[in-house]
A and B are shown apart, each in its own frame.
Chain A
Amino acid sequence: MIREDFKEILRLVRPGSRVLDVGCGEGVLLDLLTREKQVDGRGLEISAAGVAACMSRGLSVVQGDADQDLDHFPDRTFDYAILSQTLQATRRPRHVLDELLRIADRAVVSFPNFGHWRVRWSLLHRGRMPETEALPLPWWSTPNIHLCTLADFLALTEDLGVRIDACAAFAGNGSARQIDPTKAIENWRAESCLFMLSRNPPPVQSLARTEPPATSGDLFDG
């Protein structure tokens, strides 16, 4: 079964584009994107086991850390940089977002919403750190170190001066729902959310929707 946020990413990514999946795990999403959207995909993954699994799927994945290794990619190497359920585990989320939009025309970012009502309920009534479907591990073993709410993320995008091209919310196992992230109710309702961001003003390339699919990296061309 395909994860709901993966379905949404599959829908958003243009066929034949160049994609970097940051924190790609065992390469499930990259594999899907390669097969269904014929993307030229690369991955960055922190765990050796994850990279090994990606290698046997035939994916080009480098073992590395989003906090440090994005710096080594040249500007605008990719059409999309994907950060799926990883932002909250980075040390420098602001820097990582900035880097994603430097190396790619668009960033696709999903994360658990700490403003979801179950989280608020758990803290308010039980006084305990939440353990929900989107946040399944106890506080002492979670890799998440920079949790935020939908509203927090929105404030950061404003601060960074980036444009929101799309936003979707997920709750439970339901499919993605297009939302207006500025509505306060969504910060209660979304268990996790997904944003597609681009730099303001939009990159010139993205204006021409009919452009032929990008081939392999053309860093030295420009």
Chain B
Amino acid sequence: MAELDFAGPVLSEGGTWRFPPHQPLRLDSGAQLENLEIAYRTWGELNADGTNAVLICHALTGDQHVAGTHPVSGKPGWWTRMVGHGRPIDPAKHFIICSNVVGGCMGSTGPASINPATGKAYGLTFPVITIADMVRGQAMLVEALGVETLLAVVGGSMGGMQVQQWAADYPDKLFSAVIVASASRHSAQNIAFHEVGRQAIMADPDWKAGAYAQGKSRPEKGLAVARMAAHITYLSEPALQRKFGRELQRDGLSWGFDADFQVESYLRHQGASFVDRFDANSYLYITRAMDYFDLAAAHGGVLAQAFAGARHVRFCVLSFTSDWLYPTAENRHIVRALTAAGCRAAFVEIESDKGHDAFLLDEPVMDAALQGFLGSVERERGLSK
């Protein structure tokens, strides 16, 4: 991947954007990050009017490889059913941007990066980051790419939190916003599940108080357990039942603690493959950012106030019937705040038994809704008739 140093507009396939020297990212915690790097990818081209840019915000363990082939896993990007030729977000008509968040581990500065002050990996000396910090970094990248206003900013789950933050902090840079299966703050249950994951990582002797980068081994077992617990929250009981039921791996029980049930082996596989592509400390920092996210609290306790500047923005909110991680009620809470703020909001709850992960899976109704919404946004923006 090309490493680019620039301040002016560029069109490229992506790379790593470096903050200009002596321009740190000021964080909500009060700390500052020097020499920040943000890894990103783009598809398509910005049109002459600069009106066709779409920013996609990734979820917790996602990355910038929303389409195309993932360089590490060799698998297709994480949202190829939404992004690609003939898809609702189409490089033939959109300039698509997806960046890796601050604190991530796919090329952006995060706890695994080298702290220029010490020459060692940050580890736990990395400052605590928030969703607003992530968005602040993204906004600077978008500006550096020569984009003044975004046709749409789109995201599911944690990506949807970033979209809300964009609407609160940079409404004038947005024409429309799509929030899928998200929430304006975490419930106690959401925080509880994240805490289980963090404790699993921190209980791993290889974690070494976050300073494992200097050693030979990483807290893979803890991270795998964190992923297994989280993965259950992404699915639904009917989906798990349909996929695995109580089916066994082999003939009969082992009378021990091997993975007898297919669901056990599935979760072990999910955990094991996750450690190859994700950093344990990044997991701690990003889950913390999600738990800290509370858009209403930052606006006098009234969520509608957060959206007061975004009345011109067209919003689309989608939820799924079987999502118990970010249930419809949480999404409807956002919609009601948008309504109260006088924003133009569309909202639909999509019938699905696939749980929270439905937004990444084959859901034709979601595709049609987004295609319809973006189509009308494009017409209004003068991109099509």
Contact = CB atoms under 8 A, between A and B. Distances in A.
Contact of B345 (A57, A62, A216): A62
A219 B314 contact: no
A73 B351 contact: no
Interface residues of A, number: 25
Q: A interface, by DSSP: helix, strand, loop or mixed?
A: mixed
Interface residues of B, number: 33
Interface string A29-56: 0000000000000100000100110111
Interface in A61-82: 61-64, 69, 72-74, 77
A56 B377 CA distance: 10
A48 B350 contact: yes
Given A60-B314, A61-B346, A217-B311, A55 B376 contact: yes
Contacts of B372: 52, 55-57
A220 interface: yes
Interface stretch (B40-48, B206-214, B250-258, B363-371): B363-371
B289 to A, nearest CB: 29
A216 B351 contact: no
Nearest to B335: A62
A13 interface: no
Given A54-B346, A59-B346, A219 B340 contact: yes
Contact of B342 (A51, A54, A55, A219): A219
Contacts of B342: 74, 77, 216-220
A74 B342 CA distance: 9
Contacts, number: 80
B61 to A, nearest CB: 29
B79 interface: no
A55 B348 contact: yes
Contacts of A72: 336, 339-340
B15 interface: no
A62 B332 CA distance: 9
A26 B368 CA distance: 15
Interface string B333-356: 001100111111111111100000
B188 to A, nearest CB: 24
A58 interface: yes
Contact of B379 (A58, A60, A69): A58
* A-B residue pairs, 4 tightest by C-beta: A217-B342, A58-B376, A56-B372, A60-B344
Given A55-B346, A61-B346, A219-B342, 7 more contacts: A48-B365, A55-B369, A60-B315, A63-B347, A63-B349, A217-B311, A219-B341
Interface of A: 42, 48, 51-52, 54-64, 69, 72-74, 77, 216-220
